[in-house]
Amino acid sequence: MGKRKVVVTGLGVICPLGNDINTFWNNLIRGKSGVSYIEEFDVSDYPTKIAAKVRNFDPLDYLDHKEARRMDRFMLFACAAARQALEDAELVIDYRNAGRVGVWVGSGIGGLATCEKQHVNLLKKGAGSVSPFLIPMMIPNMAAGQISILCGAKGPNGCSVTACATGTHSIGDAFRLIQRGDADVMITGGAEACITPLAVAGFCAMKALSTRNSDPHRASRPFDAGRDGFVMGEGAGIVVLEEINHALNRGAKIYAEVAGYGATGDAYHIVQPDPEGEGAARAFTMALEDAGVSPEEVDYINAHGTSTVINDAMETKAIKRALKDHAYRVSVSSIKSMTGHMLGAAGAVEFIATTLSCQNNLIPPTINYDDPDPECDLDYVPNTSQEKEVNVAITDSLGFGGHNAALVVKKFHG
């Protein structure tokens, strides 16, 4: 059997720009920042006092109280976004198809908030005070587990955990399962909720976060010469992928085609990417070859674009290595300028943005791009959305540990 064609039929999102697809997309193309001050815990002695938080989220809109109180925040985000995506796809899961519907949802860190809270209980009150739900609320695979339980999906069920590349790897791995015939439908994406005292302190200790505390909306500035680190974000992006004939036979709405996937390793450093972008470039090339697409056909790249000095310069080199001279004719933007860096959820939400760009022929901007960096010399769609025919797009993610992933998304011509 040859490679089966895979399409996107459902979208769901919970993120700093909105808790539904329409709000998210409208804020994205308007260039709205989701960054604000951290108020949930005392950051008076933290170098960084800002983050991109999910607001106005009520898990009881999606789950009953008993279910919700047994889930960490990252799982709540994932389940809510999955409910949205399934409703959007109008997919009914029952005894006839449950075994062919799978779930592949990752998290870079998992239930850190639960872990921190229960550790305090342990220290203050002893072992008997630790919740029996600590482990299932903490482990990263339980977002996928909870989604499968909620919707009855009994097909392949798993979890990719590759730091900041988690969301993209999850969708790519789910794509492969359908492509090779192991499933007809996959519910896939990523979720994260790590704006916590320990996580923020840890990233501050690494000097990875922006300290532009006086102007939160302008703190995340990918590819700009004044960038000084990323801004922590949180949320979830979940999509429904389907084998094309399965989607067509049930009359599903089709957003776009997932056409190619590439995954590589840097074998370089625990947190720094290979400064020459060799591994990232190979991920681009692998995804293009898998899709049967030439570099000259690429219209848009939704970049990882973290707003860190090393990453943005490296990613620019990687794009040039993979696309050669065509790199200067491609539109490149980073929505992390608005959403912050959602870690394990980032790639999934960025995949959704890429899919909507293909559908709407509209590219979201890189906001806060004021001062060009000579090392970053491509078209980063500065500050204002760009109308452009988008037939082929790439979205990529790069994670601590040297994990690189890229997906090719194509406009669907029904």
Collapsing DSSP states into helix, strand and coil, what is residue 168?
A: helix
**Tokens read off for 214:** 């006086």
Question: Rounded to an integer, what distance in angstroms lies between the CA atom of residue 188 and that of residue 73?
Answer: 18
- Output the CA torsion sign for 113, 119, 125, 131: positive
Please indicate whether residue 164 is annotated as part of the active site.
yes
CA distances from 38 to 41, 49, 302, 341 (A): 7, 6, 27, 15
Q: Which helix (H) or strand (E) holds 80?
A: helix 73-89
3-state secondary structure 121-157: HHHHHCHHHCCCCHHHHHCCCHHHHHHHHHHCCCCCE
Question: Phi first, then psi: what are they for 100, rounded to 5°?
Answer: -110, 5
**Tokens read off for 16:** 């700093």
Nearby residues of 123 by Cβ (< 8 Å), 6 or more positions away: none
| Alpha-helical regions (H) of 292-399 | 309-323, 336-339, 346-360
Task: Look up residue 71 and give its amino acid.
Answer: M
Collapsing DSSP states into helix, strand and coil, what is residue 23?
A: helix
Pairing between β-strand 386-387 and β-strand 403-411 as defined by DSSP bridges = unpaired
Buried b (16+ CB within 10 A) or exposed e, 348-387: bbbbbbbbbbbbeebbbbbbbbeeebeebebbbbbeebbe
- Output the CA torsion sign for 111, 128, 63, 6: positive
Candidates 15, 79, 115, 164; catalytic one: 164
Show which residues are catalytic: 164
